[in-house]
Amino acid sequence: MALLRALLLGLSLLHCAFAAIFDLSELSWSLKNENGSIVVPGTVPSQAHIDLLKAGVITEPLLEINDFTQRWVWMDNWTYTADLSGFFDTIQPASSDQTLLVFYGLDTIANITFAGIPIAWVNNQFRQYVYDLTPHIPAAAASGGNLTVEFESAFWYGLNVSSRPDAEFFPGGNGVFEVPAARHYIRKQQIDFGWDWSPAFVPTGIYKPAYLVTLANESDASSITLSSTPPLSPSGSTNTSDIIFIEEVAVDIYKLGSSFTVLPDQSADWVVNVSLAIRAGASVEAPTVQLALPELNVSSQAFTIPTLNGHANETVWAIVQWQIPDAVPQRWYPHNLGTPQLYNLTATLSLPTSSPTSEPHKVSFATRTGFRTIRLVQLPVPQSDVTERGLTPGDQYHFEVNGKEFWSKGSNLVPFDPFYSRITTDRVQWVLQSAVTSGQNMVRVWGGGILQPSNAGTAGGVYAFYDLCDELGILAWSEFLFSDALSPINPFFLESVEPEIRENVRRLNRHPSVAQWAGGNEIEGIVISTNQSLPNGTIYLDQFVTMFQDFLHDLETSESRSVPYTDCSTTKGFLSLDPYILRFDNGTSGDIYGNSERFDYTATDAFDYSTYPIARFVNEFGFHSMPSIYAWEQALLSPEDFAFNSTVVVSREHHNPAGSLAFPNPNAPEGQAEMTLAAEQWLPVPPFLGSNSSITSGSAQDNATFAAWCYTTQVFQALTIASEINFYRRGAGLPENNLGGIVWQLNDIWQAPSWSSIEFDGRWKVLAYAEERAYRPITIHPFWIPEAENLEVSVMSDILGSDVQGTAQMTWYDWSGKVVLALPAVKFTVPSLNFTAVLNQTGLDSILPPGKGVQDVWMLVNVTADVPGGGTVTNENYFTPTSLGNVTLVDPEITVNTGYSYEFVLEAQGGVAPWTWIEHPAGTVGMFIDAYTGSPSNAFYLIPGVQKIVRFIPNTALSTVQDPRPIDFVVRSLFNNTILDSGSKVETELAVDAVQVISTSTVDTIGHAPAKPHFPGHGHDGQIPVVPP
């Protein structure tokens, strides 16, 4: 559907290769509200908020409390209108060509009118729509007219549709986080209505590209090669016509004979199943398609496909299957298990022309894909494993790629922006690359968000996602978009859902990164609870079975033989695979079934292993933290807002959610308190401002205090999540045989308190660096049970297929940095997917160095191991036998010298600096790496006499500041909190001085001030600013 315009215009622009294509973004659009009081220029693709922002009607939606003040936008109806004369100028009068109107995404409920003629009413954000306009073109071209898309407010639609006489009633509001719009009836991104970490903007608009496609009524002997997989989304119109339009391409690669219920034979042939949905402008007899893998120099026979009847209002499906011997292609693997090998699968359509002497017209395209098998194993634990390995009976829950089980380590991914139309590939690539760099092999595409695109140029994607996952070698656990609400099963609802599911399964089948399709998010647990708590609860259980056990299962398995299905993100598994029958509570007490979650916000439970789930797999666990001061600077405008509990900051705390339109969120203090109490329980904390930290003068010291609180909540978040990751990794070698942990969450949708490890603009939180240490192939961790006074230091390995040997070292230090006791090095062997204890001691008298108390010392644990085929792996961790809030830290007197290429040499001249943190300046995105190993490095214990040399690696595509000054980087540690917390006048003055050297230029309302260091050769002398005592 696209061509390069280089031959015509001398420019490398994408074209529609299957037809003349008119890009609707080239029309002159207007946007108006229902009563016409607002009329502004519109754009495609876009959404109403974005066009209102461009016109100056509203300010940036993510500023301040705009999620509240701009509610009027989503309570109104909006109409996009374009004058069609620009299109009519491109078509031939009295032509017999046929014309299609193609929308790749409409958000969400809309009436479409073409030149005054009603075309369609739509109500599903996740579908593409193709309409035949041919009967209407002659009259419209003669008289002119507009293309109009009238959007109904999703809020009002939800209230209306849920009031239908045949609409089902659901108890308890059914998942209302903020906007009470009966979202379960709306096929729209569910977080648009608010979540416990997301704003509610309820956007509307033509949020993906749209086109008018003209199909010729005859073909010639030419050959066309497309630039990518159709249906393409060219950037601009083309004038190259053709007789066909391919509206769908599905590639499903699986082992011969395998299916959802039949395990793949790893030695069997590969089956490459290619399905094409074709619309034709002319009849074509005996068309064929031939497949090839050019890199492997193999090709198929020419397969005959059905006759094309020349009716553009009808879709003809062409389905072919090509068998390839197992040994021919190299397999795709996640990046930490092998090579994510991809190939160009080419398809060439041969379309005989009307002249028997002419060569056939040919259209070819290539699609990137890979060969792999993926299974979600939920079968019973073999009795042999119970007897010989001591595994707990029940069901398994883990993934296998190419027949090999592995430890799934990753994060949950949420939408990148409340407004899809402004997401960019650069932003997405950074988040996914960050996950890979931090050792993750899986992201979970959460079911309350959006169905992510393949790439910017396919099916109106706007940006790339699954193509990036394929290339980076990271699996994408994918979900249908049902989340935290019981689902209706009305026929009118299912009528919209069925094509949505089919289209998207087919679209994404080609991606080897797709790990599974889950029916929805957390709904199984909700329906089990509903069934147990309501007298008529079985009604909702039966409806769940209809929707998630039967309907969605049948749709997915009918469209894919390569990707497994499960009913829900968190599930107790199934009783039977064929037929598919869910388990629910039908299990044996003491056995383990399905997977699990953990969200415990009681501060004292943070490191209490008895509160951690004993599970085969934990697909959600997390704790929230503040974003950095730099993120708040993007969202806050008033100096008075920069306080932990200021009105604006608290308004952006959506945990626990309001459950209504109440503003500010009346439940926000609960979330704020959870962060505060956890920090107070386990860390030295900065002071509060005023009685409740909601009062700030906007002074430099007050802003330093707010920045310190943001950092401190991030340190606690990192501590508790790293503890859980290591606990679950250790569980691989215990009776639960845990083989996966997926942290909640990876990225942010705005600047606010959240569970993320990466902030909205791409800045890494402390958690991101802690995850990298915890997700290394070999990790070491101290497991401390204070009630039993038991310390176990264990080494965990997720290396497949071989034992790993190495050396562990455990060293006790006091807080001045003096070595108190160095334990003998321990040589170890750790089996694959298992752990080995290198220290196990009970009783403080035997654990602590002689004469030392729990507040006096801490232990550095580190490991060096040789990984077969992977070189040397190192890791370190830290153990404190009491809360860091209980110890008396010694001034570390940190110095930082700068080197070339943003290299920083950090040294502690005084005491130990726990959780030393170096921050890059506002406007920059990037990560810090160890200058020697190249691994991410930040948020570490800085020990006197032990240099840390880190280098900042900027992401220039996302950074608005391309050449940051070294003096604008900031270093802090937990010791600084003890200085800020001092009440004496002298130390308060020193604290103000500290603030004045941690930021950039002149003092302003945010409390920034000058400082001095440099890079050699940059014309300065000095050191990077450190928050001083």
Question: How far apart are alpha carbons 837 and 830 in whole angstroms?
Answer: 9
Give the strand order in the sheet containing 790-797. Answer: 778-785, 790-797, 834-842
Residue type, 743: V
Say whether 248 is catalytic: no
Residue type, 570: T
Question: Do 363 and 349 touch, CB atoms closer than 8 A?
Answer: yes
Strand, coil or helix: 319: strand
Closest to 697 measured CA to CA, from 1021, 992, 357: 992
678: enclosing H helix or E strand = helix 668-682
Residues 6+ positions from 1020 with CB-CB distance below 8 Å: 967, 1012, 1013, 1014
Pair of tokens at residue 843: 């009783």
Residues 6+ positions from 583 with CB-CB distance below 8 Å: 395, 572, 573, 574, 575, 593, 594
Closest to 441 measured CA to CA, from 127, 742, 710: 742
State the first-to-last Cα distance of the chain, in angstroms, to the nearest integer: 65
Closest to 930 measured CA to CA, from 782, 806, 776, 714: 776
Q: How far is CA 646 from CA 632, 690, 694, 749, in A?
A: 12, 11, 4, 21
Pair of tokens at residue 246: 């391919």
Q: How many CB atoms lie within 10 A of CB 178?
A: 26
Nearest 5°: CA angle at 986, between 981 and 991? 50
What are the DSSP calls for 351-420, one per residue? E--SSTTSPPEEEEEEEEE----EEEE-SBPPHHIIIII-PPSBB--EEEETTEE--EEEEEE--S-S-G
Per-residue burial over 839-862, b = 16 or more CB atoms within 10 Å of its CB, e = otherwise: beeeeeeebbbeeeebebbbbbbe
Name the DSSP letter for residue 550: I
Sort strands 146-152 and 78-83 into parallel, antiparallel or unpaired: antiparallel
Catalytic residue among 247, 500, 522, 620: 522
Pair of tokens at residue 656: 């626990």
Per-residue burial over 383-422, b = 16 or more CB atoms within 10 Å of its CB, e = otherwise: eebbeeeebbbbbbbbbbbbeebbbbbbbbbbbbbbbbbb
Q: How far is CA 374 from CA 282, 403, 453, 511, in A?
A: 41, 8, 20, 11
Nearest 5°: CA angle at 379, between 377 and 384? 110
Question: Do 441 and 775 touch, CB atoms closer than 8 A?
Answer: no
Question: How far apart are alpha carbons 710 and 310 in whole angstroms?
Answer: 63
Long-range contacts formed by 396-399: CB under 8 A, 24+ apart: 396/616, 396/737, 397/573, 397/593, 397/594, 397/595, 397/615, 397/616, 397/617, 397/739, 397/740, 398/616, 398/617, 398/737, 398/739, 398/740, 399/374, 399/375, 399/442, 399/475, 399/515, 399/516, 399/739, 399/740
* Catalytic sites, residue numbers: 522
